[in-house]
């Protein structure tokens, strides 16, 4: 047996314990109480008031806004969990075999729904100060994304410039729940320009909300079952279409971008629909010198909530349809009720090489970090 054949057999026997696992979607509990000390006046007083109001899961009036509670509640289900300390998170990620976790907020997933520009920008600044001070701990394998508040793109660009060389900051979170306009609009060019200059990727993330902007008119569904089935996917699909058809990848050719918490099966569908329309209507988008699929295949896509077909080979086929072996990244959505254990992706019949890429190596490329979480471009 040749050395190459022995190496192939050894890789085929690899387990999760043997490979690097980078979780590209982990959530930490950002409450008014913890952000108040980091917030500018007068908004600090607002957070102090909100610290005393009853709080429900991802539903704090004036902070994590939304029209929750429309559906009749039923007993049972899974307890809504929160992570409140770096040590708790490190212990829990270790229990599911995650080496490096990329941090997103909890409540401020809904920051785009807030109407006050100055308030939203102040919350983003407070959150960014808080995670850098308390959470971005490379020695614990915890790396953060700063928030770019869409209400004030110029202020968001200044935040990116401020944290561009911060070792524990590896990207920029773009809120999608209730965002208006969508992320392809030119008003966001300052954010993209700053991220590209800082060599930091941008990551789009959403959450289920009801909001009077496209594509969030989900009040028409009878149940949370229906809303949660499509909310994230609608959001990612709408934003990807807008980003491609307004020329973001042409204006910012070196900007790395990722789409999170929408699964994977929507990606080949949208890619093929855009290619079909491009053949007929490319005069409307003269700035696109290639088919949309050319640009989409350069973006990254996180797995959670991963599809679970009866035949796991179907999942392999979904990834193959958009050449995703080099662009798909594992995500758990820890500690939310619908989190995915790394074994869900690992058990699918991908090649050993593809598993290593998707479980961790692709994320290292997106964030330009080494296996210990060190940024390579500082």
Residue 57 φ then ψ, to 5°: -60, 120
Report the helix count and the strand count for the chain, using DSSP H and E: 15, 8
Nearest to 103 by CA among 135, 59, 72: 135
162-198 confidence digits (pLDDT tens): 999 999 999 999 999 889 999 999 999 999 999 999 9
344-358 confidence digits (pLDDT tens): 999 999 999 999 999
User: 341: which DSSP letter?
Assistant: -
Confidence band of 4 (pLDDT split at 50, 70, 90): low
User: 72: which DSSP letter?
Assistant: P
Task: Please tell me the distance from the alpha carbon of residue 335 to that of residue 106, in angstroms, as a whole number.
Answer: 10
Q: Which pLDDT does position 6 carry in this prediction?
A: 40
Is 10 a residue whose pLDDT tops 80? no
Q: Are 184 and 244 in contact (CB under 8 A)?
A: yes
74-110 confidence digits (pLDDT tens): 776 566 678 999 999 999 999 999 999 999 999 999 9
Task: Please tell me the distance from the alpha carbon of residue 257 to that of residue 144, in angstroms, as a whole number.
Answer: 16
Surface-to-core class of residue 151, CB atoms within 10 Å of its CB (0-12 exposed, 13-18 middle, 19+ buried):
buried
Q: Which pLDDT does position 260 carry in this prediction?
A: 97
Separation of first and last alpha carbons in the chain:
44
Provide the whole-model pTM. Answer: 0.93
300-309 confidence digits (pLDDT tens): 999 999 999 9
Query: How many C-beta neighbours within 10 Å does residue 207 have?
Result: 27
Is 293 a residue whose pLDDT tops 50? yes
Q: Are 73 and 54 in contact (CB under 8 A)?
A: no
316 to 91, 221, 255, 268, 304: CA distances (angstroms): 31, 31, 27, 12, 15
Task: Please tell me the distance from the alpha carbon of residue 292 to that of residue 165, in angstroms, as a whole number.
Answer: 32
Residue 285 φ then ψ, to 5°: -130, 60
**Starting at the edge strand that comes first in sequence, how are the strands of the sheet with 142-147 ordered?**
22-28, 100-105, 142-147, 169-175, 202-205, 257-259, 300-302, 328-329
Is 240 a residue whose pLDDT tops 70? yes
Q: Which pLDDT does position 60 carry in this prediction?
A: 83
How high does pLDDT run on average in the chain?
Answer: 92
DSSP per-residue codes, 359-372: IIIHHHHHHTB-TT
Residues listed for the chain: 378
Nearest to 271 by CA among 322, 224, 205, 305: 322
3-state secondary structure of 198: helix
Least confident among 10-24, 40-54, 258-272: 10-24
Average of per-residue pLDDT across 290-315: 96
Question: What is the Cβ-side half-sphere exposure of residue 173, based on CA atoms within 13 angstroms?
Answer: 32
Q: Are 173 and 203 in contact (CB under 8 A)?
A: yes
Which residue would you say has higher pLDDT here, 143 or 219? Answer: 143
Least confident among 13-22, 220-229, 252-261, 343-352: 220-229
Instruction: Give the pairing of strands 300-302 and 22-28.
Output: unpaired
Least confident among 1-15, 204-218, 220-234, 318-332: 1-15
Q: At what angle do helices 266-281 and 224-245 cross, to 10 degrees?
A: 40
Q: Which pLDDT does position 5 carry in this prediction?
A: 47
Least confident among 1-10, 59-68, 128-137, 194-203: 1-10
Q: Which pLDDT does position 53 carry in this prediction?
A: 85
Which residue would you say has higher pLDDT here, 218 or 261? Answer: 261
């Amino acid at each position: 047996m040749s050395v190459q054949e022995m190496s192939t057999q050894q890789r085929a026997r690899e387990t999760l314990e043997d490979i690097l696992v980078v979780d590209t979607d982990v959530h930490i509990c950002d409450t008014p109480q913890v952000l108040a000390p980091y917030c500018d006046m007068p908004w600090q007083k607002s957070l102090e008031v909100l610290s005393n109001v009853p709080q429900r899961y991802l539903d704090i009036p004036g902070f994590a806004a939304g029209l929750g509670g429309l559906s009749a509640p039923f007993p049972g289900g899974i307890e809504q969990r929160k992570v409140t300390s770096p040590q708790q998170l490190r212990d829990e990620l270790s229990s599911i075999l995650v080496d490096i976790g990329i941090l997103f907020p909890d409540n401020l997933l809904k920051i785009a729904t807030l109407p006050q520009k100055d308030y939203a920008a102040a919350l983003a600044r407070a959150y960014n100060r808080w995670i850098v001070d308390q959470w971005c701990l490379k020695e614990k394998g915890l790396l953060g994304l700063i928030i770019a508040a869409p209400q004030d793109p110029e202020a968001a660009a200044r935040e990116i410039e401020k944290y561009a060389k911060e070792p524990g900051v590896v990207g920029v979170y773009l809120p999608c729940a209730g965002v208006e306009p969508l992320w392809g609009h030119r008003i966001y060019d300052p954010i993209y320009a700053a991220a590209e200059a800082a060599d930091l990727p941008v990551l789009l993330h959403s959450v289920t909300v009801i909001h009077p902007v496209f594509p969030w008119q989900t009040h028409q569904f009878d149940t949370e079952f229906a809303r949660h089935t499509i909310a994230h996917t609608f959001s990612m699909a709408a934003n990807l279409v807008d980003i491609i058809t307004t020329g973001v990848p042409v204006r910012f050719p070196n900007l790395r971008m990722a789409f999170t918490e929408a699964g994977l099966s929507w990606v080949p569908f949208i890619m093929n629909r855009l290619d079909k329309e491009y053949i007929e209507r490319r005069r409307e988008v003269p700035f696109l010198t290639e088919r949309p699929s050319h640009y989409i295949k350069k973006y990254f896509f996180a797995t959670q909530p991963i599809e679970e077909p009866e035949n796991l080979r179907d999942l392999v086929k979904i990834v193959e349809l958009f050449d995703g072996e080099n662009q798909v990244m594992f995500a758990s959505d820890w500690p939310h009720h619908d989190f995915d254990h790394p074994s869900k992706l690992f058990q699918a019949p991908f090649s050993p090489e593809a598993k290593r890429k998707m479980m961790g190596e692709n994320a290292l490329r997106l964030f330009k970090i080494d296996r210990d979480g060190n940024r390579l471009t500082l």
